């Protein structure tokens, strides 16, 4: 079973949800603003992926800009980055789809086809 972390007001999340539904992919749905992923989960996904830490941040988000993270993320340790991300779901790139091993961040149909179909 996969877990779909989303923000219901996010248009990209809605597209991803529609794709999952249209392709009859079973998932557990989690509102990532109300229940952000825990630091340990984020670290595990990072370790299991080939993605850089910056990819886990919602770089176009208001909170990201308010905190001036553009110039700070590169100098953060993994521990600092994932501790910060776990404090606020709006800082995290969305949606996140994971089965505990594989993870996709954002919605690119080709990635969803490769990983979840």
Amino acid 31: pLDDT = 98
Amino acid 59: pLDDT = 95
| 115 phi and psi angles, rounded to 5 deg | -100, -30
Amino acid 67: pLDDT = 94
Measured CA to CA, the distance from residue 55 to residue 57 in angstroms comes to: 5
Query: What pTM, to 2 d.p., does this model score?
Result: 0.92
The helix/strand/coil state of 99 is coil
Q: What is the pLDDT of residues 51-105, one digit of tens each?
A: 999 999 999 999 999 999 999 999 999 999 999 999 999 999 999 999 988 999 9
Q: What is the pLDDT of residues 35-52, one digit of tens each?
A: 999 999 999 999 999 899
Amino acid 94: pLDDT = 96
Structural domain total, the chain: 1
Measured CA to CA, the distance from residue 54 to residue 93 in angstroms comes to: 9
Kindly list the distances between the CA atom of residue 92 and the CA atoms of 23, 24, 38, 44, in Å, as whole numbers in the listed order: 25, 26, 11, 15
Once rounded to an integer, what is the mean pLDDT over residues 10-26?
A: 97
Q: What is the CATH number of the domain that holds 14?
A: 3.40.30.10
Measured CA to CA, the distance from residue 46 to residue 55 in angstroms comes to: 9
Nearest to 109 by CA among 49, 19, 23: 19
State yes or no: cis peptide before 95, omega within 30 of 0: yes
Amino acid 45: pLDDT = 94
Amino acid 19: pLDDT = 98
| Residue 48 domain boundaries | 2-116
Amino acid 80: pLDDT = 97
Amino acid 109: pLDDT = 96
């Amino acid at each position: 079973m996969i877990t779909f972390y989303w923000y219901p007001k996010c248009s990209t999340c809605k597209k991803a949800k529609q794709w999952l539904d249209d392709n009859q992919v079973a998932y557990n749905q989690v509102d990532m603003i109300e229940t952000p992923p825990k630091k340990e989960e984020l670290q595990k996904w990072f370790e299991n992926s080939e993605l850089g830490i910056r990819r886990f941040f919602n770089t176009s988000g208001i909170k990201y800009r308010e905190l001036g993270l553009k110039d700070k993320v590169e100098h953060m340790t993994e521990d600092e980055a994932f501790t910060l991300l776990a404090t606020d779901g709006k800082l995290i790139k969305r949606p996140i789809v994971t089965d505990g091993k594989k993870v996709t961040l954002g919605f690119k149909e080709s990635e969803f086809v490769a990983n979840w179909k």
